């Protein structure tokens, strides 16, 4: 999808932003909280707590308010956003997210599996997606990165090696790396981590595949 993002019409690109936003982003806190309540590793707990606190800062707009303001810059009103009808594929993706984090028998080491899953699907992949969105928003609509701050902000902070949030020393992905360094102890652990990461990538790819039909 990312290599062909310029081929989408403006209407289709706005549709993609709404499905990502109202489907994935708007449910991020609930998804992360669901994982957090089941994790006991102190490094993983600290990583997730830090990220959740960043989502709703003590001052200034919440991240979802930032997304709404960014979308207004390209003609998507707040009322249009909140009334978005999620596609069957988007709803299926959300179900898959919660099925994975709530499954009690899927993984041998649940702390490791849950930490890996939320790291990949909630941070690493997000950095890649929002980098593409930011660049395309700037190119397509003539806005600046500061106009669409929700997307540029998350690109910079969530990608591997991303910039720290205010008051932090490292990016979100790196907080997870500290936890994984503590959790990864055996070859079996590494093999399970790879399986979880592949699962996360597969779920996200399936979600994104729905948009390719618009180009046929």
60 belongs to a structural domain: yes
% of the chain beyond a pLDDT of 70: 93
Has residue 76 got a pLDDT over 80?
yes
Q: What pLDDT score does 192 carry?
A: 95
Pull the structure tokens for residue 65.
């308010």
Residue 29: how many other CB atoms lie within 10 Å? 16
Tell me the pLDDT tens digit for each residue of 121-145. 988 788 889 999 999 999 999 999 9
14 belongs to a structural domain: yes
130 belongs to a structural domain: yes
Domain harbouring 79, CATH code: 1.20.910.10
- The model's confidence at residue 160, banded by pLDDT at 50, 70 and 90, is low
- The model's confidence at residue 171, banded by pLDDT at 50, 70 and 90, is low
Rounded Cα distance between 178 and 150, Å, is 26
pTM of the complete model? 0.90
Q: What pLDDT score does 66 carry?
A: 95
> Are the CB atoms for 63 and 55 separated by under 8 Å?
yes
Mean pLDDT over residues 57-81, rounded? 94
- The model's confidence at residue 163, banded by pLDDT at 50, 70 and 90, is low
Question: How many domains in the chain?
Answer: 1
- The model's confidence at residue 162, banded by pLDDT at 50, 70 and 90, is very low
Rounded Cα distance between 157 and 79, Å, is 28
Mean pLDDT over residues 46-72, rounded? 91
162 belongs to a structural domain: yes
Q: What pLDDT score does 204 carry?
A: 93
Find the farthest-apart pair of alpha carbons in the chain and give their distance in angstroms, rounded: 51
216 against 145, higher pLDDT: 145
Mean pLDDT over residues 164-186, rounded? 78
216 belongs to a structural domain: no
| DSSP secondary structure string for all residues of 144-174 | -TTTTHHHHHHHHHHSTTPPPPTT-SS-HHH
Mean pLDDT over residues 147-168, rounded? 70
Q: What pLDDT score does 173 carry?
A: 74
> Are the CB atoms for 81 and 68 separated by under 8 Å?
yes
Question: Which domain covers residue 167, as residue numbers?
Answer: 2-211
Has residue 191 got a pLDDT over 60?
yes
């Amino acid at each position: 999808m990312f290599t062909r993002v310029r081929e989408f019409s403006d209407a289709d690109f706005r549709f993609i932003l709404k499905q990502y936003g109202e489907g994935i982003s708007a449910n991020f806190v609930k998804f992360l909280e669901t994982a957090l309540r089941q994790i006991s590793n102190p490094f993983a707990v600290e990583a997730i707590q830090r990220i959740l606190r960043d989502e709703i800062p003590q001052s200034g707009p919440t991240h979802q308010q930032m997304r709404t303001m960014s979308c207004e810059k390209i003609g998507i009103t707040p009322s249009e956003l909140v009334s978005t009808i999620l596609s069957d594929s988007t709803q299926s993706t959300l179900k898959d997210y919660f099925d994975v984090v709530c499954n009690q028998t899927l993984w041998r080491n649940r702390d490791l599996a849950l930490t890996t899953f939320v790291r990949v699907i909630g941070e690493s992949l997000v950095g890649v997606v929002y980098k593409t969105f930011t660049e395309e928003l700037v190119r397509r609509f003539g806005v600046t990165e500061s106009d669409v701050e929700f997307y540029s902000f998350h690109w910079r902070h969530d990608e591997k090696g991303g910039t720290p949030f205010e008051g932090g020393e490292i990016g979100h992905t790196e907080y997870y790396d500290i936890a994984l360094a503590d959790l990864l102890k055996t070859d079996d652990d590494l093999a399970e981590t790879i399986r979880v990461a592949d699962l996360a990538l597969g779920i996200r790819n399936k979600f994104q595949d729905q948009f390719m039909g618009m180009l046929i």
